[in-house]
Amino acid sequence: MDLMICGMCGAQHDTRAFKSCKICDDPRQYVPPDGQTWTTLREMQRSKKYSNVFAPDKYDSGVISIHTTPQVAIGQRALLLCTEGGNLLWDCLTYLDDVTVQAINELGGIAAIVISHPHYYSTALHWAAAFGCKVYLSAEDCEWIMRRGDAHVLWEEPRMDFLDGQVTAVKVGGHYRAVLREPTIGFCSSPRPLEAFKR
């Protein structure tokens, strides 16, 4: 709760002291002109300034978009993919509170969190602890994990099925590092494939 969160990319770091953010120092992100800012999950919760908004997809009620207002970091959004085999959280948000946990539990909880690339690493370990699940990250991106935890699963396969095949994560390459050994991942769900591959 008191570990440092980068205000620009939203990633929680394994430290309570200010330092630079490797993700923001990288050319694919940036450090704000006024310099890097830091917060903690406890500080965000105590501010009572933030809340997470849930919005079902207009074409598929089994896909629920979640984002934080006011905007945190780069305005990440996560997708709760609801299937008969359980729910999968695609990508993750920095802000988490009891209201969010309760709302998601009423939707069936989270069986697994799968994150496409390091700009969504956020506070995923807190989410994993809250829902008792694992966080699946591409093994190729492991150098960008600013806080490691037992809940992390670094997977190497080009694709992986989740929830008895209801959701398939596919490494397609692109946005992050944009080379084959550093792919991002996209998902498709069954029975209706979703063209939500991140690039």
Task: Quote the least distance from Cβ 8 to Zn ion, whole Å.
Answer: 5
Burial of 140: CB neighbours in 10 Å, binned 0-12, 13-18, 19+: buried
* For Zn ion, the closer CB: 72 or 82: 72
C-alpha span between 195 and 190 (Å, rounded):
12
For the packed helices 124-131 and 98-106, what is the interaxial angle rounded to 10 degrees?
50
Task: Quote the least distance from Cβ 25 to Zn ion, whole Å.
Answer: 8
* For Zn ion, the closer CB: 9 or 145: 9
Task: Quote the least distance from Cβ 199 to Zn ion, whole Å.
Answer: 21
User: Which residues 6+ apart lie within 8 Å of 2 measured at CB?
Assistant: 16, 40, 41, 42
User: Which residues 6+ apart lie within 8 Å of 47 measured at CB?
Assistant: none
Task: Quote the least distance from Cβ 53 to Zn ion, whole Å.
Answer: 23
User: Which residues 6+ apart lie within 8 Å of 175 measured at CB?
Assistant: 28, 117, 184, 198, 199
Question: 44-58: b or e for each residue (b if 16 or more CB lie within 10 Å)?
Answer: beeeeebebeeeeee
Residues at the contact surface with Zn ion, assessed by CB under 5 A: 6, 8-9, 21, 23-24
Task: Quote the least distance from Cβ 63 to Zn ion, whole Å.
Answer: 28
* For Zn ion, the closer CB: 24 or 167: 24
* For Zn ion, the closer CB: 122 or 138: 122
* For Zn ion, the closer CB: 25 or 157: 25
